[in-house]
Structure 1
């Protein structure tokens, strides 16, 4: 059988798509398997998502666009990711949903020290059900929350971090907590 150049190109394309798909699933499987109660999780959204692009722009580029905390509602029960989302507020998702291909292109899990796990989970669970903070304001004592504020408040309440990593971003009059700054602070504190 004689292969034409278009057949060769098609075969190479299919092999590349298969490899890229397998790589994407490999990081997802690895990250989902690493989730433990109390862990701080981060994801990068999809490049075509306007919220992802706005968050990345606001922090001057970077890697992460969304964060959450892994919690169990009952001991030895299902692990969920608690995060704050526009239009929804604080909510729970299974790790498979939080890191699914429709909303995540990369992910990371930062485990808490064993002696902090219960305090982090309890602090995060106490914030469940709060509305989303569309203003990204830190001056309302947590009545409304955005994703990094939720995680930072829980970590501060649990004694994991002392200070909130705040910065000025374009188009906002107040300082905010960005995903990359929060992850860097957690990494420096617990690892």
Structure 2
């Protein structure tokens, strides 16, 4: 995964890429939510515990149909390229919080190749990614109390989205309220503009998830 320089602007909610939309398989979303919930349960003030998946699917009539979520290993600390990127660019630009080796995700290149071959076997394309934003302002250290996350991309996310160039980047916000987990999701294109996102429902007799 390579990353390029990023403009210091946020996606404007008033500017939505209406000519494109993300149609998400309910089954694929459930797979990611289950994995994200497992990581969420292990979060401590010292370990944000990221969760990251690659979206597989197809494009049709101006829409992206997400059919599967595939997972890979985090090479954040094992890849020389990742270590250099964090040391020379990410930490200086986005703050010392990213010195934490558990924070942020760098997909292992070998796993990206495996996922790409899997997509080919299934007749799918790699459409983009989905990752977890927990309610870190509640779970994290005191220094994070004033910086709540949401299903909007962080400044670091925008840098990654623009650098990767994938057409879809989904952020899943997960929080615990009154003893239960709740989530919201939002999709963003490679320029950090919001994309309309719909989740396909499973109906009796349907053969698609």
Pair in the same fold by TM > 0.5: no
Q: TM-score, normalised by structure 1?
A: 0.25
Greater gyration radius: 1
TM-score (norm 2): 0.24
**When you count strand as a share of all residues, which structure comes out higher?**
2
Bigger fraction of residues in helix = 1
